[in-house]
Amino acid sequence: MADYKEAPLATRPRTLDPNDYFNLSQEKRRADEERAALRANLKRQYLTQLNNPSRTELIEDPALTRWVYARANPFPHFRPTFKTSLLGIVFGVVPLVTLYYIFKTDRDRKEAQIKAGTRDRKFNLAY
Amino acid sequence: MAGVGFRRWAQTLTKGRGVGISALLSGARAASGASKDSLPGPYPTTPAERAAAAKKYNLRVEDYEPYPDNGQGFGDYPKLPDRSQHERDPWYQWDHPDLRRNWGEPMHWNFDMYIRNRVDTSPTPVSWNSMCKQLFGFIGFMLFMFYIGEVFPAYQPVVSPAQERSDELFM
Residue A112 — φ and ψ, nearest 5°?
A: -65, -40
Provide the pLDDT for residue B3.
Answer: 47
Does B40 reach chain A within 8 Å, measured CB to CB?
A: yes
**ipTM given for this complex:** 0.81
Tell me which chain A residues have a C-beta less than 8 angstroms from the C-beta of B40: 66, 69-70, 73
Q: Which residues of A touch B (CB under 8 A)?
A: 3-13, 31, 34-35, 38-39, 42-43, 45-46, 59-67, 69-71, 73-81, 83-84
Residue B88 — φ and ψ, nearest 5°?
A: -80, 155
Q: How far apart are CA A112 and CA B54, in angstroms?
A: 66
Q: How large is the angle between the packed helices B18-26 and B2-15, nearest 10 degrees? A: 150
Q: How far apart are CA B48 and CA B98, in angstroms?
A: 36
Provide the pLDDT for residue B139.
Answer: 98
Chain B interface, best mutation among A19, A51, A67, by max B CB count within 10 A: A67
pTM comes to 0.76
Tell me which chain A residues have a C-beta less than 8 angstroms from the C-beta of B72: 74, 77-78, 83-84
Q: Are B21 and B12 in contact (CB under 8 A)?
A: yes
A6 with B59: Cβ contact below 8 A: no
| Cβ-Cβ contacts under 8 Å for B84 (sequence gap 6 or more) | B114, B116, B118, B119, B120, B121, B122
B122 with A11: Cβ contact below 8 A: yes
Which residue ranges of chain B lie beneath pLDDT 70?
Answer: 1-34, 170-171
Which residue ranges of chain A lie beneath pLDDT 50?
Answer: none
Provide the pLDDT for residue A24.
Answer: 87
Q: Count of CB atoms within 10 A of residue B101's CB? A: 21
Quote the minimal CA–CA distance from A37 to chain B in Å.
Answer: 10
Cα of A16 vs its chain's centroid, Å? 29
Instruction: Convert the pLDDT of each residue in B69-108 to its tens digit.
Output: 999 999 999 999 999 999 999 999 999 999 999 999 999 9
B102 with A43: Cβ contact below 8 A: yes
